[in-house]
Amino acid sequence: MITTVLAFLLTIGVLIVIHEFGHYRVAVACNVKVLRFSVGFGRTLWSRRFGRDQTEFVVSALPLGGYVRMLDEREGAVDLHERERAFNNRPLWQRAAIVAAGPTANLLLAVLLYAAAHWIGVQEPRAVLSAPVVGSVAERAGLRSGDWVRSWSSDGGQWNDVRSLTDLRWQVTQAAIRGESLQLMVSGRDGRGSRALTLDLAGVDARDVDAALMKRIGLGVPFSEPVLGEVKAGGPAAAAGLRSGDRVLRVDGADIADAQLLRDRIRAAVRGDAAVSMNWVIDRAGQTLTLPVTPRVMPGATSGAPAFGRVDAFVGQPAEMVLVRHGALDGIVQGAERTWSMSALTVKMLGRMLIGEASIRNLSGPLTIADYAGQSVQQGLSYYLAFLALVSVSLGVLNLLPLPMLDGGHLMYYLFEGVTGRPVPDRWLDRLQRGGIAVLLVMMSVALFNDVARLLGLH
């Protein structure tokens, strides 16, 4: 819990400081006097003055935002000798640059964070697949248990190496959102027998971009041998005589190619509220044995969810991992490409949510950010940097939306001023501000509801 809170505060703090520093630095470069640089809102916890203008740097009690207050005649009287340095008296292009600098700083930060994560390297599962979901796109495409996806291509273009299962899922997700097919070059686990196949993703429901999307496509967990790990004493597996190291060959006459298939058979061995006994054929140190196994019946995770079976044994072995790392220049290039791809994906998903083609359940709020921040910190520095980059992209894109109260809304005002030669009338500014506040409150409420629903297992 403490790790999650600290990781969340660090995440929000870094992103706010970088965002506001973007505004601050460009304002100073444009000779605008900055009165205050605040991280957070509410009661002041710490305050110091620095620089030739004695700008007040403040840390406040509520760390969910920040602001840069500049000299401005619309907010108070300005001495005659400083009127030229007031924000409202600067040329239009300078005002636009100052406003755009915050989101731009977040996007540039994302490039550097992604690059740093690539330089450090991340341990990710090799793109060796377990058996695809029956009847899924992956099964119809011809994917089989143990297939190693080596490269991908879109629209018959050049082939690109698949560095890991994470890389493959990213490419599949983008193709599913676009409603396009994706060509895959696969081989056996030993690298032999290459063949090309096509994932037809045009009809996939991509309204929710989550873990369930991969299941709908048919790409499950990485391949794992159907070998038992730790067997819990007193559980169904122990009662059946199973031991750690047993390799499961068949269940009720059906071959078991990987651990995921075995897990699925165990979970499905329930009829109503009663367990169904299974006949397992196992290999134990070269000896073939047949054992009856009756799982424990477990209630569904949520109300109305079906019951499932469990044998109280760890099924499968750890997935084969690969270190994904890039060189100095390639890391920057990959960081820029990932930032661009995530920005485009974010805009596309927001647009699809607006017209009803994507679920609003994709919106996340502070609780989800805190949860993921804590998880990524525990996984390692490179994972946390990649997560921080993702949130930085989201913050940058969100602030560029053409909504009043956001930087994008102010840029729209300046566009109007540039086209018409006059600023937006005050009465319209007031109406737009009220509307913008209402839209932001709705978005925040939906995001918070989604957070709570995820924590309660309702999504």
Per-domain boundaries in the chain: 94-121+326-459, 137-217, 228-317
* Amino acid 369: pLDDT: 62
What's the whole-model pTM score? 0.78
Active-site residue, from 20, 73, 84, 337: 20
Say which residue the tokens 């031991």 belong to.
243
Q: Are the C-beta atoms of residues 390 and 380 closer than 8 Å to each other?
A: no
Interior angle at CA 95, CA 90 and CA 96, nearest 5: 150
Residue 371's pLDDT is: 62
Tens of pLDDT, residue by residue, the chain (459 residues): 677 777 777 888 888 999 999 999 999 999 999 999 999 888 889 999 988 889 999 999 887 788 999 999 888 888 888 899 999 999 999 999 999 999 999 999 999 999 999 999 988 899 999 988 888 888 999 999 999 999 999 877 789 999 999 889 888 888 888 888 899 999 988 888 889 999 988 877 666 666 677 888 888 789 999 999 999 999 999 999 999 999 999 999 999 999 999 999 999 999 888 999 999 999 999 999 999 999 999 887 666 678 899 999 999 988 888 988 989 999 999 999 999 988 988 888 777 777 666 666 666 655 566 665 666 767 778 888 988 998 899 889 989 988 888 899 899 999 998 999 888 887 887 777 777 777 767 766 766 666 566 655 555
CA-derived radius of gyration, the chain: 27
DSSP line for 372-407: HHHHHHHH-HHHHHHHHHHHHHHHHHHHTSS-TTSH
Amino acid found at 364: S
Q: What is the pLDDT of residues 224-261, one digit of tens each?
A: 999 999 999 999 999 999 999 999 999 999 999 999 99
Query: Between vectors from CA 211 to CA 208 and to CA 217, what angle results, nearest 5°?
Result: 80
Q: Distance between CA atoms of 11 and 3, rounded to whole angstroms?
A: 12
Per-residue pLDDT tens digits for 310-358: 999 999 988 888 988 989 999 999 999 999 988 988 888 777 777 666 6
Helix axes 2-29, 92-120, angle to 10 degrees: 140
Amino acid, res. 25:
R
Architecture per CATH, 137-217: Roll (2.30)
- Annotated active-site residue 20? The verdict is yes
Asked whether the domain spanning 228-317 has the same topology as the one spanning 137-217, the reply is yes
The answer to whether residues 217 and 204 touch, using CB atoms and an 8 Å cutoff, is: yes
User: Which residue do the tokens 């601050």 mark?
Assistant: 24
Helix (H, G, I), strand (E, B) or coil at 277: coil
pLDDT of residue 261: 92
Q: For 228-317, CATH number? A: 2.30.42.10
